Structure 1
Amino acid sequence: MKRNVLLGVVAAGLLFSGPSRATPLITEEEAKLPPPKGAVAVEQRGIMRGPKVEFVSPGDSASSPLPLVLKFQSYGGAKIDPASVKMIFLRTPNVDLTPRVKPFVKADGINMQDAEVPPGEYMVRVDIKDSDGRSGTTVFTLKVAPK
């Protein structure tokens, strides 16, 4: 009887405790990897019908954990394919962040409110596709201030 009560208390505690820590996006070890040589953010110009990725937040610099928010926009009636979203941390070698952000990906963007990232500046590339097979890419710099 005592054992059943104890198990019930433990289970209730787990149910109501909720997540107690931030979601790791970039680890300390990955942050120490060397940046790729000659890496620069690329701006695409011209008329494009492919989907667009817009980096919304954090702003200029935020401390961790931070909100990582990106918005997706499609054109011509096409829909964003959430399964096509890829996020790459540009380092040598590159680090695939896709499995870490997948739970936060929706058709309209990525909303990860508690991303854990070490202090520093990091270049990240996001690739998406729409239902018509057109692709879109953005590269942004994630600036993380010390705590």
Structure 2
Amino acid sequence: MKLITEEEAKAPNLQVPTTRAITRGPGISLQTPLEVSAKSFAFKLAFEPRGGAKIDASSIKFEYLKQPIVDLTARFKPGLNGNTLELAQASVPVGTHPIRVWVRDSEGREAQTTIQLTAK
């Protein structure tokens, strides 16, 4: 499954300030190496609810941080299964791809992280 098109990859990167905050929201853990083969790789992500809350699957959102922002959610959703997201065969163009992941839990607490996926 092609997660990012060549045309999308050519757009300028969105400059996003990096912020760090302590949150009780869900954890987002990338299980895939940050460096992947552009042709085909397995993409795996785990969502870690805290304090007995559950992951709100409808809140999960993926954004490609380009100008303009590209909503990738529909391309990732087929791999969602409970608290994990797994795509057996994903592909992206060669280069570095900033992808922001958003999630909310059943208590309404949000978390986000930005993944810098590099394809060679």
Scaled by the length of structure 2, the TM-score of the pair is 0.91
The amino acid that maps onto 2:51 is G
Alignment of 1:58-137 (within 5 A): 58-137=33-112
1:33 corresponding residue in structure 2: 11
CA distance in 2, matches of 1:137, 1:39: 13
Distance change in 2, residues 1:141/1:129 (3 Å): same
The amino acid that maps onto 1:27 is T
The offset of 1:109, in angstroms, is 2.1
Scaled by the length of structure 1, the TM-score of the pair is 0.75
CA distance in 2, matches of 1:43, 1:57: 23
CA distance in 2, matches of 1:27, 1:58: 20
The offset of 1:73, in angstroms, is 0.3
Q: Which structure has the highest strand share of the two?
A: 2
2:113 corresponding residue in structure 1: 138
The offset of 1:43, in angstroms, is 5.5
Q: Which structure has the highest helix share of the two?
A: 1
Runs of 4+ in 1 over 4 A off after TM superposition: none
The offset of 1:34, in angstroms, is 0.9
Aligned residues: 120
Identity rate of aligned residues, in percent?
37
Identify unmatched segments of 5+ residues in structure 2: none
1:44 corresponding residue in structure 2: 20
The amino acid that maps onto 2:13 is P
CA distance in 1, matches of 2:36, 2:26: 27
SS at 2:25's partner residue? coil
The amino acid that maps onto 2:44 is V
